[in-house]
Amino acid sequence: MTNVEKISVSATPRYADLLRDAVGSGAYASASEVIREAMRDWSAKWQQRGGDIEKLREMWAEGKASGAATPVDFDDTLAEARQELKTARRHGG
């Protein structure tokens, strides 16, 4: 494997046992393989979280730009949503 950097990671006894069990069962060839898979999974989650945060920022900016807040009657809003759902179901939505 080219361009790798060796690092040391501390783990709780529980995680260390899980890692050893994964290798001992033959599911993984080495502890490094387990850690690489865990890093790939974590990396995907980290990137998704970054995208989620950016989307929230965009939505926040859009909301602020839409003008001042106005009072909303929750019962009216709920009734409107239910009617839209009913209409959508009638039309195959």
Q: How far is CA 15 from CA 18, 34, 51, in A?
A: 5, 11, 29
- Is pTM beyond 0.85? Reply is no
The C-alpha atoms of residue 36 and residue 23 are separated, in whole angstroms, by 13
Residue 68 has phi, psi (to 5 degrees) of -70, 150
Q: For residue 8, which amino acid is it?
A: S
| pLDDT tens-digit readout, 66-86 | 999 899 999 999 999 999 999
Enclosing H/E stretch for 58: helix 31-65
pLDDT tens for each residue of 17-69: 999 999 999 999 999 999 999 999 999 999 999 899 999 999 999 999 999 98
